[in-house]
Structure formats: structure tokens, C-alpha cells
Amino acid sequence: MSWFILVIAGLMEVVWAVGLKYSHGFSRLLPSAITVVAMAISVALLAWAMKSLPVGTAYAVWTGIGAVGASVTGILLMGDSASPLRIASLAMIVVGLIGLKLATP
């Protein structure tokens, strides 16, 4: 259950990271509100997952999901570069996240 909660926390991190872009420096009300709510949910779920997961593993997976998710969202929705090196780098992060999952009892 902790891993499921951690994945949801990471996905909420993607929401707030993308929300920051749309909030235009917190000058737009709705995107700003969504961003702040997503931040709070993300951190609360991370804290909940850390009750039973090692702090280093949980934090690395949380930030990894956020980084990969925000990058993929940028590529798919915002026209960010999808160069082979960038895709390979994101794949290495995913491999690292899988390794952390496999190494955690």
C-alpha cells in the first residue's frame, strides 16, 4: 500500500510542477490554486508513505516520478525537446527507480 501511495504522491508532484508553468508565477488564480492543492496532497502522501518506506528510497522515488513525469508532460504537451539523449537520460532515471523498488524489502 505504501508504494501505491508513493506513486500517487509522485503523480501529484507532476501536477504541481506542470501547474507552476500554467500559474505564470502565481499570477493566475485557478492554476495557482490547483498547484498549491497538488503540492499539499503530494507532500502529505509522501509523508504517509514514509511511515513504512526508507526515507532515502521514498524521497528518491517521489522526486524521480515527478522529474520523469514533468519531462514527459513537457515533451508531449509543451513542445519540449525529445532528443535521444534526453529520452535515454529519462530511461536511466526509470531504471534507477525500478532498482530502488527491487532493493527495498
pLDDT digits (tens, 9 = 90+) for 65-82: 999 999 999 999 999 999
Cell numbers of 5, please? Answer: 501511495
Q: State the residue range of the domain holding 18.
A: 1-103
What average pLDDT does range 82-98 have in this prediction?
Answer: 96
> CB–CB of 87/55 below 8 Å?
no
Domains identified in the chain, total number? 1
| pLDDT score, position 46 | 98
> CB–CB of 13/29 below 8 Å?
no
The predicted model scores a pTM of 0.89
pLDDT digits (tens, 9 = 90+) for 18-50: 999 999 999 999 999 999 999 999 999 999 999
Q: What is the DSSP letter of 24?
A: T
